């Protein structure tokens, strides 16, 4: 008889097989695993283009194509699982987005499909109706990722959906359709989407019935019977049991992913707690089954789920389910994006166990956020505590108030290294160049960059409902179905994240110029300018580069670059905050590059920190590799704590290291101390990898030997074997030894 443990082991093996198969279908992807399964042979979607540029927009275009992609999805039922459903493909693959294009899709598209598409530019935005040609030169100049046409990075309020079920959505749509005449097109589109999801479930029901006809193992038959019952219940009904709630969430997540690859998780241990407690009370659920169900949910989608933390009265939210979630993640031990909220009122034993998981499994989960610092920062925007406390970690580095906020977080970035390069171009024309003048010029260019970015954000918010309405996520947002409006039109909070990228490159450049040119006089300005123009390849260029690159760096500890990093952060925060926005919208500064350091680096010429043209820029708020000879994580922690932007968004501490001591040798206490101290000093989020140095280096040589090795790339975790060689190198370069 197969035990739960046997079944989980088999599921892990299937996952490894899928990871390798996906790599052969998709090519290398420097992305989240997303929980997708490979496409079946012969899979094909025929999109309905509603626009002459071979794309589709708006209510009808999006809902019809969503239904087509959903309908093309075969069911996924593994009799060893308790939950059914997986997603495999998404709408954006049919709108010419080269950034995400998997290899299999590249083979399908025609030249006609891709006419006018570039890496920077997809056909997700309806440019004919909403052009912004005036912004494009500035976006290009400063290497701005504008957020125009981006995925909706927002968080659903899962309590809305769990209380209604898919049938409840249909009833709600019918109810408000009657109350909002003139909004028929909106309600039609929402209805098309919900019905496509129900059809998706129906195909799973048929598949379970088919499997039941051939399954002979009694314990698996029993499981399939239970699965069938659950699926029939959640098809249109609202989930009543813990198992139904998990299954319902799994289906909703599949649908949201197919739609825009988006959506975000939720506070897993509190939202599902009533179901768990009710079932336990009724005696229909044991912890072993609950653990298996959560493991299955994590397997279906490595969504950003948050656990632990405190409520609006600072009372500990950690409960029995929080522990079970950690145990479930351990039981399945795959790519997972669990965030543990850290607060002094939380059960200290829980934090210790969460840190122990980093050591025990070395798969990059969980990560940690500071409840206090994020709350206090966000409240500065005038948001009351009870709402600010609901803002949870549901993305790589980002936070969101579920159901209420439209943050566009992680979609808008300014490459500050590129802005500095433009400023250096102006500095060259000055008679007496100085770092102070460069700082002033940087400020002027940042202002222009932020202004253009704000214009892009406003264009997006003003029109995205007509381009990419969030038809799936609208189902679980507040005021949407009630008013017949897309969430972009009726959000309660528009606190839009704008991240700067390349902090360490910029700070180290200022630090090197101050130290080597102004203080020591080892270099002249002319020599620096020439070396930059020549990419350090002309006469004496290599020595100039060595002189600049060897100057003390950001995170070195009280270095010139450390001081510049703080000044540049202040300048960045002030520039972003001073930007006027209409209609109660606010811009929230942060430091983050996501996984785009290679791409951003390609847009920047040689920089005065000794970085050559085209080399990757620094990662998020992290220092440049080699920032100290001892690579001290404490030094990195201090540096990053000092550059927090302070308005509720993060500048994450990204750590990958071999602590040099094991779980039993006090390693857990050391990392716990690092986490607590980083947060005490103002840090907001820690994306952490506790790695085995030898394994990482061996996997770098031959990733296929370690297909189950997971690393936290930025906020997300990914299978090391799926990353491109160049990206693997970046992860290895960031690696530190010792605590």
Partner 1 sequence: MGSVKARIADIQRASIHDGPGIRTTVFFKGCPLRCAWCHNPECISFEKETLYYPEKCIGCGKCSEGCFSGARVVCGRDMTAEEILETVLLDRDYYAEEGGVTFSGGEPLAQREALGELIRLAKREGIGTAIETSLILFDEEILGEADLVMADLKIWDEERHRAYTGVSNREILSHFKLLDRLGTPVIARTPVIPGVNDDRENVEKTRDFLRSLRNVIRYELLPYHPLGEDKRRALGLPPAGFPVPDRGKMEELRRYADLRG
Q: Enumerate binding residues for partner 1 (CB under 8 A).
A: 522, 540, 542-543, 546-547, 549-550, 557-558, 628-630, 632-635, 637-638, 659-661, 666, 669-670, 673-674, 677, 680-681, 738-739
444-451 contacts: CB < 8 A, separation 24 or more?
445/142, 445/419, 446/414, 446/416, 446/419, 446/571, 446/572, 446/575, 447/575, 448/138, 448/142, 449/138, 449/142, 449/144, 449/414, 449/419, 450/414, 450/498, 450/575, 450/576, 450/579, 450/587, 451/579
Asked if residues 350 and 366 have their Cβ atoms less than 8 Å apart, the reply is no
CA distance 619 to 301: 26
Give the residue with the Cβ less far from partner 1, 612 or 681.
681
Give the residue with the Cβ less far from partner 1, 115 or 546.
546
- Three-class SS string for 88-128? CCCHHHHCCCCCCCCHHHHHHCCHHHHCCCCCCCCCCCCCC
For the bound state, the minimum distance from the C-beta of residue 344 to partner 1, rounded and expressed in Å, comes to: 15
For the bound state, the minimum distance from the C-beta of residue 738 to partner 1, rounded and expressed in Å, comes to: 6
Any idea what the Cα angle at residue 265 is, between residues 462 and 582, rounded to 5°? 20
Quickly list DSSP for 359-405: HHH-S---EEEEHHHHHHHHHTTT--HHHHTT-EE-SSS-EE-TTTB
Helix axes 58-72, 242-260, angle to 10 degrees: 120
For the bound state, the minimum distance from the C-beta of residue 627 to partner 1, rounded and expressed in Å, comes to: 12
What lies within 8 Å, CB to CB, of 574 at 6+ separation is none
Give the residue with the Cβ less far from partner 1, 570 or 630.
630
Bridge partner residues of 340 (DSSP): 307, 368
What lies within 8 Å, CB to CB, of 632 at 6+ separation is 736, 738
Residue located via tokens 């009724």: 282
Give the residue with the Cβ less far from partner 1, 252 or 657.
657
Supply φ then ψ for residue 493, to 5 degrees. -140, 130
Closest to 262 in 3D by CA, of 64, 406, 384, 374: 406
For the bound state, the minimum distance from the C-beta of residue 562 to partner 1, rounded and expressed in Å, comes to: 10
| Tokens, residue 381 | 């925007």
For the bound state, the minimum distance from the C-beta of residue 551 to partner 1, rounded and expressed in Å, comes to: 9
Give the residue with the Cβ less far from partner 1, 99 or 352.
352
CA distance 506 to 565: 8
| Tokens, residue 696 | 């990482």
What lies within 8 Å, CB to CB, of 144 at 6+ separation is 138, 413, 414, 415, 449, 452, 453, 456
For the bound state, the minimum distance from the C-beta of residue 635 to partner 1, rounded and expressed in Å, comes to: 6
Closest to 5 in 3D by CA, of 289, 353, 358: 289
For the bound state, the minimum distance from the C-beta of residue 92 to partner 1, rounded and expressed in Å, comes to: 42
CA distance 337 to 473: 20
Give the residue with the Cβ less far from partner 1, 66 or 536.
536
Give the residue with the Cβ less far from partner 1, 179 or 542.
542
Give the residue with the Cβ less far from partner 1, 32 or 672.
672
For the bound state, the minimum distance from the C-beta of residue 352 to partner 1, rounded and expressed in Å, comes to: 14
For the bound state, the minimum distance from the C-beta of residue 661 to partner 1, rounded and expressed in Å, comes to: 6
For the bound state, the minimum distance from the C-beta of residue 209 to partner 1, rounded and expressed in Å, comes to: 56
The total of other beta-carbon atoms located within 10 Å of residue 570's CB is: 13
For the bound state, the minimum distance from the C-beta of residue 146 to partner 1, rounded and expressed in Å, comes to: 39
Supply φ then ψ for residue 368, to 5 degrees. -135, 140
Give the residue with the Cβ less far from partner 1, 483 or 676.
676
Give the residue with the Cβ less far from partner 1, 515 or 593.
515
What lies within 8 Å, CB to CB, of 713 at 6+ separation is 30, 32, 595, 723, 727, 731
Give the residue with the Cβ less far from partner 1, 642 or 722.
642
Quickly list DSSP for 185-213: HHHHHHHHHHHHHHHHHHHHHHHHHHHHH
Which 3 state secondary structure label does DSSP give 573?
A: helix
Give the residue with the Cβ less far from partner 1, 36 or 689.
689
For the bound state, the minimum distance from the C-beta of residue 494 to partner 1, rounded and expressed in Å, comes to: 37
For the bound state, the minimum distance from the C-beta of residue 555 to partner 1, rounded and expressed in Å, comes to: 11
Give the residue with the Cβ less far from partner 1, 40 or 538.
538
| Tokens, residue 395 | 């993305």
Asked if residues 131 and 208 have their Cβ atoms less than 8 Å apart, the reply is no
Quickly list DSSP for 252-285: HHHHHHHHHS-----BHHHHSHHHHHHHHHHT--
Give the residue with the Cβ less far from partner 1, 76 or 536.
536
For the bound state, the minimum distance from the C-beta of residue 678 to partner 1, rounded and expressed in Å, comes to: 9
Give the residue with the Cβ less far from partner 1, 308 or 544.
544
CA distance 489 to 223: 44
For the bound state, the minimum distance from the C-beta of residue 676 to partner 1, rounded and expressed in Å, comes to: 9
């Amino acid at each position: 008889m197969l035990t739960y443990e046997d079944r989980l082991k088999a599921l892990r093996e299937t996952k490894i097989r899928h990871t390798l198969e996906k790599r052969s279908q998709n090519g290398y992807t420097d992305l989240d695993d997303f929980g997708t399964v490979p496409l079946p042979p012969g899979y094909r979607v025929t999109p309905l283009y509603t626009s002459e540029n071979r794309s589709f927009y708006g209510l009808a275009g999006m809902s019809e194509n969503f239904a087509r992609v959903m309908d093309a999805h075969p069911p996924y039922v593994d009799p060893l699982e308790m939950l059914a459903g997986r997603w495999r493909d998404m709408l954006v693959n049919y709108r010419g987005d080269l950034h995400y294009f998997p290899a299999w899709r590249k083979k399908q598209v025609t030249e006609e499909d891709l006419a006018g598409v570039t890496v920077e530019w997809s056909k997700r935005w309806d440019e004919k109706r909403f052009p912004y040609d005036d912004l494009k030169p500035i976006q290009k100049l400063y290497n701005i990722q504008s957020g125009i046409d981006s995925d909706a990075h927002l968080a659903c309020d899962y309590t809305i959906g769990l209380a209604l079920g898919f049938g409840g959505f249909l009833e709600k749509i019918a109810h408000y359709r009657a109350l909002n005449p003139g909004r028929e097109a909106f309600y039609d589109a929402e209805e098309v989407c919900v019905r496509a999801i129900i059809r998706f479930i129906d195909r799973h029901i048929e598949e379970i019935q088919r499997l039941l006809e051939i399954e002979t193992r009694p314990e698996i038959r029993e499981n399939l019977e239970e699965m069938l019952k659950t699926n029939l219940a959640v098809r249109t009904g609202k989930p009543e049991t813990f198992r139904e709630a998990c299954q319902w969430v799994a289906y909703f997540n599949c649908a949201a992913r197919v739609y825009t690859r988006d959506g975000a998780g939720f506070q897993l241990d509190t939202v599902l707690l009533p179901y768990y407690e009710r079932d336990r009370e009724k005696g229909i659920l044991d912890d072993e089954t609950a653990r298996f169900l959560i493991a299955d949910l994590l397997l279906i989608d490595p969504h950003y789920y948050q656990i632990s933390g405190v409520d609006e009265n600072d009372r500990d939210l950690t409960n029995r389910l929080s522990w079970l979630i950690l145990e479930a993640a351990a039981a399945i031990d795959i790519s997972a994006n669990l965030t543990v909220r850290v607060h002094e009122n939380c059960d200290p034993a829980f934090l210790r166990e969460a840190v122990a998981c980093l050591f025990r499994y070395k798969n990059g989960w969980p990560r940690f956020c500071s409840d206090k610092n994020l709350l206090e920062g966000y409240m500065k925007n005038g948001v009351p505590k009870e709402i600010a406390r609901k803002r949870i970690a549901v993305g790589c580095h980002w936070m969101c108030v579920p159901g209420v906020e439209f943050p566009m977080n992680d979609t808008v970035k300014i490459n500050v290294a590129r802005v500095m390069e433009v400023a250096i171009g102006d500095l060259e024309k000055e008679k007496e160049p100085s770092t102070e003048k460069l700082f002033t010029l940087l400020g002027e260019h940042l202002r222009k960059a932020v202004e253009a970015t704000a214009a892009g954000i406003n264009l997006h918010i003003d029109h995205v409902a007509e381009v990419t309405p969030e038809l799936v996520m609208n189902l679980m947002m507040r005021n949407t179905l009630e008013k017949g409006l897309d969430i972009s039109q009726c959000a309660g909070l528009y606190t839009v994240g704008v991240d700067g990228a390349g902090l360490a490159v910029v700070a180290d450049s200022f630090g090197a110029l101050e130290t080597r040119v102004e203080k020591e006089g080892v270099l002249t300005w002319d020599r620096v300018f020439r070396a930059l123009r020549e990419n350090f390849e002309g006469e004496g260029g290599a020595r100039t580069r060595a002189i600049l690159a060897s100057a003390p760096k950001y995170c070195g500890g009280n270095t010139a670059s450390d001081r510049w990093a703080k000044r540049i952060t202040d300048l960045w925060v002030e520039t972003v905050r001073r930007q006027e926005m209409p209609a109660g919208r606010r811009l929230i500064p942060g430091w983050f590059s996501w996984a785009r350091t290679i791409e951003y680096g390609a847009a920047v010429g040689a920089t005065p920190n000794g970085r050559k043209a085209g080399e990757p820029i620094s990662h998020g708020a992290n220092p440049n590799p080699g920032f100290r000879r001892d690579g001290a994580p404490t030094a990195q922690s201090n540096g990053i704590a000092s550059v927090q932007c302070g308005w509720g968004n993060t500048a994450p501490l990204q750590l990958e290291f071999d602590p040099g001591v094991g779980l039993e040798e006090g390693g857990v206490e050391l990392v716990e101390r690092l986490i607590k101290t980083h947060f005490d000093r103002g840090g907001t989020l820690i994306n952490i990898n506790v790695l085995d140095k030898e394994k990482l280096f061996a996997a770098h040589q031959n990733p296929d030997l370690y297909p189950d090795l997971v690393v936290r790339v930025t906020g997300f975790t990914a299978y090391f074997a799926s990353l491109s060689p160049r990206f693997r190198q970046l992860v290895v370069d960031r690696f530190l030894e010792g605590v």
